């Protein structure tokens, strides 16, 4: 069993994968489609898309979601919005 000291360098990637899984599942539930692997991939790409939108000031959240969903509330909402955008763009480019 690995110790926490051995896992710690990989912790951001583990959190990002879990966040991507949840965000991809939420976006897939809202917009339809996807399996586990597709949800993780869409969620991780959505996290980057949502983060870029927030960084450039194109996406602003109406309130602090950390009070509703502790710790990672804002990150989860931004990732879900980004994953939704990724799904919509993929459907547009795919012709569905």
**Predicted structure pTM score:** 0.77
Supply the DSSP symbol for 9: G
**Is 4 contained in some domain?**
no
User: Residue 3: inside a domain, yes or no?
Assistant: no
- Report the pLDDT value the prediction gives residue 44, as an integer from 0 to 100: 86
Report the number of distinct structural domains present in the chain.
1
75 within domain boundaries? yes
Q: What mean pLDDT value characterizes the chain?
A: 81
Q: Are 86 and 93 in contact (CB under 8 A)?
A: no
Q: Per-residue DSSP letters for 31-85?
A: H----HHHHHHHHHHHHHHHHHHHHTTS---SS-GGGTSTTTHHHHHHHHHHHHH
Encode pLDDT of 7-54 as tens digits: 888 887 777 778 888 888 888 888 877 777 888 788 888 888 888 888
Q: Does residue 30 sit within a domain?
A: no
In sign, the C-alpha dihedral spanning 22, 80, 82, 33 is positive
Is 11 domain-assigned? Answer: no
Per-residue pLDDT for 1 more than 70?
Answer: yes
Quote the domain boundaries for residue 68.
36-91
């Amino acid at each position: 069993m690995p110790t926490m000291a051995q896992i710690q360098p990989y912790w951001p990637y583990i959190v990002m994968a879990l966040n991507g899984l949840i965000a991809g599942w939420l976006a897939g539930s809202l917009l339809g489609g996807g399996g586990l692997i597709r949800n993780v991939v869409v969620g991780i790409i959505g996290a980057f898309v949502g983060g870029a939108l927030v960084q450039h000031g194109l996406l602003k959240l109406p309130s602090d979601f950390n009070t509703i969903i502790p710790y990672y509330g804002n990150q989860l909402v931004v990732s879900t919005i980004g994953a939704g955008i990724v799904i919509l763009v993929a459907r547009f480019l795919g012709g569905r």
